[in-house]
Structure 1
Amino acid sequence: MESQNLTSVSEFLLLGLSDDLELQPLLFGLFLTMYLVTVLGNLLIILAVSSDVHLHSPMYFFLSNLSLADISFSTITVPKMLVNLQIHSKSITYAGCLTQMSLFSLFACLDSLLLAVMAYDRLVAICHPLHYPVIMNLHLCGLLVLVSFFISLLDSQLHYLIMSQLIFCADVKIPHFFCDPPELLKLACSDTLTSNMLIYFISAIFGGVPLTGILYSYTRIISSILKVSSSDGKYKTFSTCGSHLSVVCLYYGTGLGVYLSSTVSSFSRKDVVASVMYSVVTPMLNPFIYSLRNRAIKNALWRIISRISSPQ
């Protein structure tokens, strides 16, 4: 993937979260801690799922792939921000910016698609429990993840192709901590009407279709739960979706809030904070949301800890 720089711009400036030099060490420590927790927490989920035979099921297979995507999602943005904070620099190269933007689009789309796949998995498990092992077989699970990745790759390449055709002038200050596509569009000095329409159309398709799938799945799930006669039965059935629904609300709630507000007003510090929520905080919280509400994962993690701590 080679960038095609149509301008004389060799780098952009990422303004980050704050210009206050006294806050830089605090921000560095905070984001380093969040990044390490994100990586460690999601690696523990992957380790638990891969090492415990009780977790070798479609739901946990998709969860381990979501954890891998979350690690990558945070790695695209946070390490670069940490480096800039440490060396008191705000620069990112033209090629680095477009690459970061493209990879960010890839893993943001992959997260959305995996959440949609997990919603479908819960739909089959609750609405068609007797046929669940047949429908959600190993080949279908692998195919769903593979298709999700290639669709996300297509999304990232479309973003990259559109951005690489823009012409940038002297003002290359991005009021963000990473190269966000809407902010790059605002910096272009060429006509961006077509590019804006394409970017938002692509985002609506690659983000809206998974969200529609999630809403449809939960409509069917809720309809099926309402048919359960006992209150305990309803609670037990819906509790299997609680963690996933929490992650969906956190991810889409903050993400949609940022991008819908950016279409009607200029980007503000509040939007940057909201971006931190869905691009940094959400990947960090996902392992806790799933592990704290899931007895099988907690048991698997305790078995791993017991094996590590027990003398050989």
Structure 2
Amino acid sequence: MNVHSLKDILSGTLKQIGIKEKYNSQSVIVHWGSIVGQDIASQAYPTHVRNQILFVAASSPVWAHHLSMMKEQILEKIRQFTGQKQVSIKDIRFHAGKLPALQEFQNRENSGQDLEIRQKLRCIQLDRENLSQIQDMITVIKDQELRSRVERILLKEWKWKKVKQQESYHPCRQCGALCPPENVCCTVCMIDQKQKKRGKIREILSQLPWMEYTECRKYIECDFFEFIQAKHELIQSLTVQLEQNPDNQVKLSALAMLIYRVEPASLSGETLEKTLKYINRMGKYHLPAVRPSQNASAPQK
């Protein structure tokens, strides 16, 4: 059996047991420098992925802010690198601070229910057949770090599946994946619902970019965080488009109204000039093209 067919088997098996997305997420972490370039990688590094959100530690608040404004570009680079239109990472959160501080925060966050889950997993013992299957699956992965990560994921998923068999898990109403008894939908579907809601908010803001939160709620039921997040996503999108074509007056006016919350009748040349300066500031932090190093192993498709 050749290497190509082994990769196909690995990809199919990961998808079948429901961890293909986790595998791709870990590939992004391992190859972060190849995706964003060494200039950015020297100032920011990913720590973990949770609920399809990539958490990235930045060296300073300035870098965290600049990278947050480049989020759409980074997500596009991830899509290019993995070769997937629908990637397992759908959002990025940037934190300013050193890794130890983030780890301490994560440890506090992992208390409570997560601690109970970890205790249950510790009680599960895998048989030799399970362990042998895991070793057979990861043999094809040449990158040592990625292979170790996938092995840990497989061990946890195998144990987690046994825990679910002992608990009263039920199929998600939308996709059929197993989810806890207290939830109607799985985490992935709940995130998808939130993203669709933010998409609707962006559509409304595209038509009325000066709109305030209280007015937006007349068109769609949402909380303040959802409104702000959708607004920032639209600002990022327009900024990227205007970096490529700064002469587009329609998009420039829309961005100005979004940022400064002014209606068309109150839009002045001074406001447009401030918006151009804003775009120029963001333009100083372009991402380099994706050029994976020859020594780095490409993630499995």
Q: Same fold (TM over 0.5)?
A: no
TM-score by length of 2: 0.31
TM-score by length of 1: 0.30
Structure that is richer in helix per residue: 1
Higher Cα radius of gyration: 2
Structure that is richer in strand per residue: 2
